[in-house]
Chains A and B, each alone.
Chain A
Amino acid sequence: MADLTLEHVDAGRTAVDRPAAETRFRRAVTSQQARRRLRRLARYAVMLVCAVVMIGPFAWMVLASLKTDADVRSVPPTLFPDPVTGGNYTRVLDAFDFWRFTFNSIGIAIASTVLQLVTATMAAYAFARIEFRGRNLMFGLYLATMMIPLQVVIVPLFIEMRNLGLVDSYAGLLLPTIVSSFGTFLLRQAFMALPRELDEAAFIDGANHFQVFGKVLLPLVGPALATFAVFAFMATWNSFLWPLVITQASDQHVTLPVGLSRLNGRFSTDWNVVMAGSVMSVVPIVAFYLFTQRWVIRSVAFTGLKG
């Protein structure tokens, strides 16, 4: 704000002792700068307002996770914890084999994300850049797999896994997640948005599909890849129903969300403890998101696209 007024003063003074034409030019420039600053400020203001609205649940969750039992049950509900306690976090750590479940979750999420990236980018390239008969039909088939609710497919899938001998195993946990139609579609759109001239030029230079895919187009869909990586990680990390049924036979392969669900009692629930568990399970995804964002900003700078 202070900057802004100073410039106005400055603009006013120069107007007095400079030739008229130059003054008009300078004034136009400075007022344009001022406008840009104003716009920037307005943008920050809007972003801040949105941030307050969007951060609400998370802040509320963190606050509730720091409350005592009596505090979280008070009527009417209060916003701030009084007194602040970290005991709920220790309760989560003690409630079950937290580190093992977290280790399982991280392992599965990373393995699944990597595999999904590989399967989805390759399929997406085929759908975007290779002409073949029945391509649309095949793409429709991929999309169709998103159209049946998991809740009803889960029983046949479980029976299949039983027959493959994969109940209560990492493979059983991982395999159904390794391909994502969502990701295939997302990356297909990203490939299709790239100009055709790129690959045509490469083909003329004698490149084959694998080279065009790996060397020409893949580096250009960085933002989409990063976005999909976040979704793939998040989906696997948060997935609940499949891990619930496939890992039930022992605690060996149980993932964090399944473990956290056991904090819910039948007749009443200690919400402060549940909130502490939720906070702990959100942190890795946010960290992963920030990590990919940095990567996107860097890679975008590298490819010369806007960031």
Chain B
Amino acid sequence: MKHRSRSLFAATAALALFLTACGGDDDASDDASDNSSGDSSDGSAPSTGTASGSNVADTVSDEAVTLDYFTFSAAPDHLEDLDAIVAAFEAEHPNISIEVQTAAYADYFTSLQTQVAGGTAPDTFELNYENFVTYARSGALLDLGPYLGADGIDTARYYPLAIEGFTDGGVQYGLPATFSDVVLIYNKTLFDAAGMDYPTSDWTWDDETAAAEALTDADAGVYGSFQPVSFFEFYKALAQAGGTFFDSDGKAVFNSAEGIAAAEWLTTKPGTVMPSMAEIGGTPDFDTNLFQSGKLAMWHNGIWQFSGLNESGVDYDVVVEPGDVAKANAVFMNGAVASSDTDHPAEAAAWIAFLTGSPTTVETRLASSWELPAVNDSAAFDSYLAITPPENREAVFEALDNIALPPVIERQTEMQDIVGQALERIVLDGADPQEVLDQAAADVDALSG
């Protein structure tokens, strides 16, 4: 279809400059050959001539190749760690050099989308799980199928759930690079001072509420439990309450009784056991600062907070989050993908395989407390588990037993905003949860429909 829209305007010379690349292909000069292949690149996997039917080792040629890798997770703290991984890869593949490009997460997708739109997508780049589907379904990603197998990329190297997460329609479009999960972080000093028992993995919502109420001392500015009111907390709480976001037909059903329970669980916290929205007042990293200052007893947050907490010196430990009728834990995954436009698909596949699964990567990431590699190799994590605090670091892996992956659709961000704003209305206006969620479910259905 790109060619139809293009030919409409091909005659308009003045426009040519702006339009030739709107189709997203790499070189305006080979339009003719593109036309003959028609729309095959839409949705389905593009078959790359060099790669079909062979494995990575065979197709990685000896010619000098430069690959771009665009990432949001390296800056600002792990650029040197990434350089180390790159150096190790280049030592193994002397003909390939990797050019790293970084951007802050907040700017990353603006830049990436512009580059993709301009037909200058980086050869390889990073995507988080939630955004992966949009790119996969838009035909922007390289089908890694030809490079998988005994001689190529070993999928058994990765957590089954993670490697599966980067497939769409049965096609492997990416490799899982890292994961982080969310646990309950608690301040031991505050629990000790109140003479209360530490949270355990058997805790339910009711246990947390009771403890949070007992520990909250608003006058002293001390709060019992902090949990963001957000889409990511909601889908997880929904799973904890025993509900699902979509039914098997893909219809939004989060306005169920379980959905109401989840919404109420989240929206009754602000202003009671955690600061009100007015007190938070949009201050960035409010919760981080509160916990590090020793004024927060329990904190629903991710394992990426560990290194900051260790620097702050606050006495803390972690435990898997309390459930309601079920246990469910949120996980954030980042994957590495290759562009469907790359001129060097085999080399790109070899690089992202190294970036995600090589022993060098695993060691580098663990040694520098970067995010955790998504490899299925529990022995590799021994060194990570040995670091204290937190004492109960096993909770990071215990949480993986009950993973609730976020619901994903092509119009992901819109869906997240709809749910987020619905929850905001409950907190802000005291709107009826049922009404608000009914409306949100209808809006979400309109997106995916």
Residues of A within 8 A of B (CB): 69-70, 73-76, 95-96, 154-156, 158-164, 167, 241, 244-245, 248-251, 261-271, 273
* Residues 276-312 of B at the A interface (beta carbon under 8 Å): 284-285, 288-290, 292-293, 295, 302, 304-305, 308, 311-312
A-B contact pairs, 17 of them (CB 8 A): A69-B312, A73-B289, A73-B293, A74-B293, A76-B221, A95-B79, A159-B17, A159-B18, A159-B19, A159-B20, A245-B111, A245-B115, A248-B103, A250-B99, A266-B104, A267-B302, A268-B308
Q: Smallest Cβ distance from A65 to chain B, in angstroms?
A: 16
The reply to whether A159 and B107 contact each other, CB–CB distance below 8 Å, is no
Residue of B nearest to A76 (CB): B221
Q: Give the complex CA separation of A262 and B17 in angstroms.
A: 32
Q: Give the complex CA separation of A137 and B27 in angstroms.
A: 38
In which size bucket is the chain B interface?
A: 35 or more
Q: Smallest Cβ distance from A224 to chain B, in angstroms?
A: 34
Q: Is B392 engaged at the interface, CB distance under 8 Å to the other chain?
A: no
Q: Give the complex CA separation of A154 and B73 in angstroms.
A: 25
A264-B106 contact, Cβ under 8 Å, with A162-B120, A245-B114: yes
Q: Which residues of A contact B114 (CB under 8 A)?
A: 154-155, 158, 245
A70-B292 contact, Cβ under 8 Å, with A159-B20, A164-B17: yes
The reply to whether B111 and A244 contact each other, CB–CB distance below 8 Å, is yes
Q: Which residues of A contact B16 (CB under 8 A)?
A: 163
The reply to whether A75 and B21 contact each other, CB–CB distance below 8 Å, is no
The reply to whether B311 and A69 contact each other, CB–CB distance below 8 Å, is yes
Q: Which residues of B contact A261 (CB under 8 A)?
A: 103-104, 106-107
Q: Is B230 engaged at the interface, CB distance under 8 Å to the other chain?
A: no
Q: Give the complex CA separation of A200 and B21 in angstroms.
A: 52
Q: A244-B103, A244-B107, A245-B114 are in contact. List 15 more A-B contacts (CB 8 A).
A: A73-B288, A96-B75, A155-B118, A158-B118, A162-B21, A163-B16, A167-B120, A248-B103, A248-B115, A249-B99, A250-B101, A263-B76, A265-B76, A268-B284, A269-B284
A262-B76 contact, Cβ under 8 Å, with A244-B103, A249-B68, A268-B285: yes
Q: Which residues of A contact B447 (CB under 8 A)?
A: none
Q: Is B28 engaged at the interface, CB distance under 8 Å to the other chain?
A: yes
Q: Is B72 engaged at the interface, CB distance under 8 Å to the other chain?
A: yes
The reply to whether A268 and B288 contact each other, CB–CB distance below 8 Å, is yes
Q: Which residues of A contact B21 (CB under 8 A)?
A: 159, 162-163
The reply to whether A248 and B111 contact each other, CB–CB distance below 8 Å, is yes
Q: Is B147 engaged at the interface, CB distance under 8 Å to the other chain?
A: no
Q: Which residues of A contact B107 (CB under 8 A)?
A: 244, 261
Q: Give the complex CA separation of A59 and B290 in angstroms.
A: 25
The reply to whether B119 and A162 contact each other, CB–CB distance below 8 Å, is yes
Q: Which residues of A contact B73 (CB under 8 A)?
A: 266
Q: Which residues of A contact B288 (CB under 8 A)?
A: 73, 268
A160-B17 contact, Cβ under 8 Å, with A167-B120, A248-B70: yes
Q: Give the complex CA separation of A1 and B18 in angstroms.
A: 68
The reply to whether A156 and B104 contact each other, CB–CB distance below 8 Å, is no
Q: Which residues of A contact B305 (CB under 8 A)?
A: 267-268
Tell me which of B19, B72, B110, B119 contacts A241 (CB under 8 A): B110
Residue of B nearest to A267 (CB): B304
